[in-house]
Structure 1
Amino acid sequence: MQVIKKVNNNIAICLDNNNKELIAIGKGIGYPKTPYKIDDLSKIERTFYDIEPSYLELINTIPEQVMNVSIKVVDMVRTNIDKPISSNLVFTLADHINFTIKLVKKGMILPAPLKYDIQNLYPKEYELGEKALHIISKDLSVLLPRDEACNIALHFINAQAIDTSSHNNDHIIISDIVDIVSRYFKLYIDKTGFNYSRFVTHLQYLLKNKGDHKNISSVNKSMFKSVTKEYPDTFKCVEKISDYLTHQDIVLSDEEKLYLILHINRLRS
């Protein structure tokens, strides 16, 4: 195996014997000067093919313990779901777990607007989300809210093979929303970057919940008021998005607006 680029001390971009690019994880494989050849393949702990380049930029922002937990959770998912699972799931899930832990430490709770849909329509994925919470609690010594089982399950659902040909209208709506954000903040949005991929993923989740709303919880109602005061410009942008979606027969709840505010702030960071 040929190491062609260091990501960090323990992660590198490599070429296999068929000259196919992959991400390899192994203790110290990023230390030597690249390019170099790894003759002892026992040094490689894990490999991941077909990773989107935009996800590489977030690897160094995620603690190693969180990445290891994500790998363990994805292994569990692969053994319990028959459909192909995207290799990108390890990285998007690790990012979500890391972000959620930071919010919880600040006393914030991510809403789960699709909770009842996921429980009823995707019971297996929801059950795996609950098991993931146990793994996170045990390995990272952090207790996440039970509703996080839904948010994690959404990552499992999104990582399964999807026929995108039937989602053209959703793609148009997503593109329009991204344009609204870009124009409002006079912001250049790098569509090859992970922040963009993360935002689009959330919009896909939002569109799954068209017209089916639950009342905002008392905890998130307080959080919504606080966040709208702290980020008034982002809230105004979300209101523009809400007006646009109303014309698409999609009415956003306060819970969904709260989620959008959080994700747009990440997009702007």
Structure 2
Amino acid sequence: MRIKQILNNNVALVKRGGHEIFVVSKGIGFKKQKGQLVRDEEVEKMYILDSFDMLDHFSYLLSHSDPNDIILINNIISYAEKELQFQASDYLSLTLLDHLEFLIKRVEKKQYIKSPLIWDVKRFYPKHFQVGIRALRMIEEQKGIQLPDDEAVSISLHFVNMEESKIAKQDKVSEMQILGDIISIIEKNFHVKLDENSTNFLRFTNHLQYFIQRVMKGELHNEGKDTLGLYQQVSQLYPAAFKAVQKIKVYIQSQFDSQISIDEETYLILHIRRVTERLEEEK
């Protein structure tokens, strides 16, 4: 394997045959230079992606990640593979690393989310939920923080998604149409064009896909009292995102005769804020 780019002290992008691969090797940024060869035995972890479109996204992520976080995610996945009896893709490793970064940033701001899906995940995917709980404990131990069990839900869903059968073709077409409509609402509300190649956009659309699937199945949830305080806080902190969510509420009501709960609104406000905050700063 020949080094194409050094991303940081421990991560490099290499060329192997016709593929570009991320490799993790302690101190590779000091020991090697662009163009040099790397032997397999020097590498601790490889990430092989099946899409060149994801290279920029994950190269940025890996170059800014704590090497200990990469090890932590690998340990979480190893545990999940053993408990759930499946083989994880490299893409899953990277999406979980992305998820961890977002989680830690929210913890620093004390933005804890009451998940509207916790009871459904506990009921229908108990093994996956326990993997999510174990992942939280591992994160807590390494980071020296405490996390509510609700945070296990989104981690669990990463593993559920690995095993779920694909959505029927017609449903997928409808899902993509709804996704496009919601993105359009946000862009018109903020008078911006979202960067579809950004890390935040990819994270946001991943969340929206779960939301849209719940809308299409009529599985939107009633709000819980525990979420009300956070909802009031983020509504005041991020008024533009709140306004966008009110427009999305009207859209969902008109298309599906469904009401978005405070839980769902809180999720959407936080994610819309994240996907638009850099664009707002540049205006």
User: Is the pair's TM-score, using the shorter chain for normalization, greater than 0.5?
Assistant: yes
DSSP-derived class of the 1:4 partner: strand
Question: Which of 250, 253, 267 does residue 243 from structure 1 map onto?
Answer: 250
- Structure 1 residues 238 and 176, CA, compared in 2 at 3 Å: closer, same or farther? same
- Structure 1 runs not aligned, ≥5 long: none
- Structure 1 residues 248 and 84, CA, compared in 2 at 3 Å: closer, same or farther? farther
- More moved, 105-114 vs 83-92: 83-92
Q: Does 1:131 align with 2:134?
A: yes
The equivalent of 1:231 in structure 2 is 238
Q: How does 1:84-163 map to 2 (within 5 A)?
A: 84-160=87-163, 162-163=165-166
Give the superposition deviation at 1:154: 1.4
- How far apart are the structure 1 equivalents of 2:233 and 2:220? 21
- How far apart are the structure 2 equivalents of 1:15 and 1:237? 43
Give the superposition deviation at 1:11: 0.7
The equivalent of 2:26 in structure 1 is 27
Give the superposition deviation at 1:56: 2.3
Give the superposition deviation at 1:68: 2.0
The residue type equivalent to 2:236 in the other structure is: K
The equivalent of 2:185 in structure 1 is 180
| Identity over aligned pairs, percent | 29
Q: Does 1:264 align with 2:269?
A: no
**Greater percentage in helix:** 2
The residue type equivalent to 1:228 in the other structure is: S
Give the superposition deviation at 1:259: 0.4
- How far apart are the structure 1 equivalents of 2:133 and 2:58? 25
Q: Does 1:45 align with 2:44?
A: yes
The residue type equivalent to 1:77 in the other structure is: A
Q: Deviation string for 1:195-216 (max 9, x for gaps)?
A: 2111110011212333334443
Give the superposition deviation at 1:91: 2.1
The answer to whether the 8 A contact 1:86-1:160 is kept is no
- More moved, 122-131 vs 79-88: 79-88
Q: Deviation string for 1:159-178 (max 9, x for gaps)?
A: 44652534221111111111
Count of residue correspondences? 267
Root-mean-square deviation (CA, aligned residues, Å) is: 2.0
- How far apart are the structure 2 equivalents of 1:9 and 1:185? 38
- How far apart are the structure 1 equivalents of 2:102 and 2:45? 24
The residue type equivalent to 1:247 in the other structure is: S
Question: Which of 82, 94, 110 does residue 79 from structure 1 map onto?
Answer: 82
- How far apart are the structure 2 equivalents of 1:195 and 1:107? 19
- How far apart are the structure 1 equivalents of 2:193 and 2:148? 34
- How far apart are the structure 2 equivalents of 1:255 and 1:107? 17
- Structure 2 runs not aligned, ≥5 long: 279-283
DSSP-derived class of the 1:47 partner: strand
Q: Deviation string for 1:90-115 (max 9, x for gaps)?
A: 22222222322332333321221111
DSSP-derived class of the 2:6 partner: strand
- How far apart are the structure 2 equivalents of 1:107 and 1:198? 20
- How far apart are the structure 1 equivalents of 2:162 and 2:3? 27
DSSP-derived class of the 1:212 partner: coil
Question: Which of 46, 68, 73 does residue 70 from structure 1 map onto?
Answer: 73
Give the superposition deviation at 1:232: 1.0
The answer to whether the 8 A contact 1:85-1:160 is kept is no
